[in-house]
Amino acid sequence: MEQAKLGMKDFVLTLTAGVEQLVDWRGNAFHIFEADTDVTLNFNESGERIKRKAGQGGNATREYDRVIITSAVDQQIRISLGYGGVNDNTAQVTGNVTASWAASNNSKVTGDVVIPPETAAQVIGANVNRQSLAIMSNEDNLSSVRLGTDNTVNGSSGLPIQIGATASMNAKNAFWVYNPHTTESVTIHVLETEII
C-alpha cells in the first residue's frame, strides 16, 4: 500500500516482554497515547533507540520507514506514527500557581424586549463591568432571531438564536437582535452579571 506523506496513523499493539514488534510505516514523528510503562523505539534499525512513556511524542532524527518497538513488560499500547508535528503532553509545573478570579457580585434581569417584525433593536447596552451575558429567545416566539453587535444585523447576518434557545457570552459591548418574522413581534429576555 502506498502511503502519502501526510498525517499520522494510530496503531494498537500488544507487546510481549522483551519481544520486538515491527511496524512497517513511514514517517518522521511519533506519539505514544497509551502505555502502562516505558517502551523503546528503534527507527529503521539504525541503533537510534529512545525510551518513551504514555503522553510523550516527538520527531525522529530522520525519516523512518519502519519502527521496532519493545517493552520490558507485557502490555498493550496505542501509538501514532507518520508525518507531522507532535506535542508532548507530559509537561509538569512545579511550584505555586496563583490565579485570581473575581466572582460577579451583581446580576441584572432587564425587562422583556419586544421587537416588531422585520426590525433590529438594541436589547442591551455596553457595560465595562459586565462579566457574562445571556440573551434568550422566548419559547413562544414564532421564528428564530439574529444576534449582532450593531443595528446592521439582519436576516442574513448575525448569530442565529433558535426559538427558546439562549446565547451566552462574556462580551462587554452592546447587542442588537433582528426579528425576521414578517407579521409577528418576538420577545427577548436578557440576564447580565457584573462586577461592581
Three-class secondary structure assignment of 89-105? CCCCCCCCCCCCCCCCC
Position 40 scores a pLDDT of 93
CATH class of 106-194: mainly beta
The mean pLDDT value for 96-118 works out to: 82
At residue 45 the predicted structure's pLDDT band, cuts being 50, 70 and 90, is confident
pTM confidence score: 0.49
Contacts of 95 (CB under 8 A, 6+ apart): none
Position 178 scores a pLDDT of 97
Q: Which long-range contacts (CB under 8 A, 24 or more apart) does 114-117 make?
A: 114/185, 114/186, 114/187, 114/188, 115/145, 115/177, 115/178, 115/179, 115/185, 115/186, 115/187, 115/188, 116/179, 116/185, 117/179, 117/181, 117/182, 117/183, 117/184, 117/185
CATH 2.60.120.770 residue spans of the chain? 106-194
- Grid coordinates of 126: 455596553
Between the alpha carbon of residue 124 and those of residues 34, 56, 152, 161, the distances in Å are 49, 48, 15, 16
State yes or no: pLDDT of 50 exceeds 90.
Answer: no
CATH class of 8-82: mainly beta
Position 21 scores a pLDDT of 94
Position 136 scores a pLDDT of 93
CATH 2.60.120.10 residue spans of the chain? 8-82
Question: What is the rounded distance in angstroms from the CA atom of residue 50 to the CA atom of residue 59?
Answer: 11
At residue 86 the predicted structure's pLDDT band, cuts being 50, 70 and 90, is low
Closest C-alpha among 131, 187, 141 to residue 163: 141
Position 105 scores a pLDDT of 78
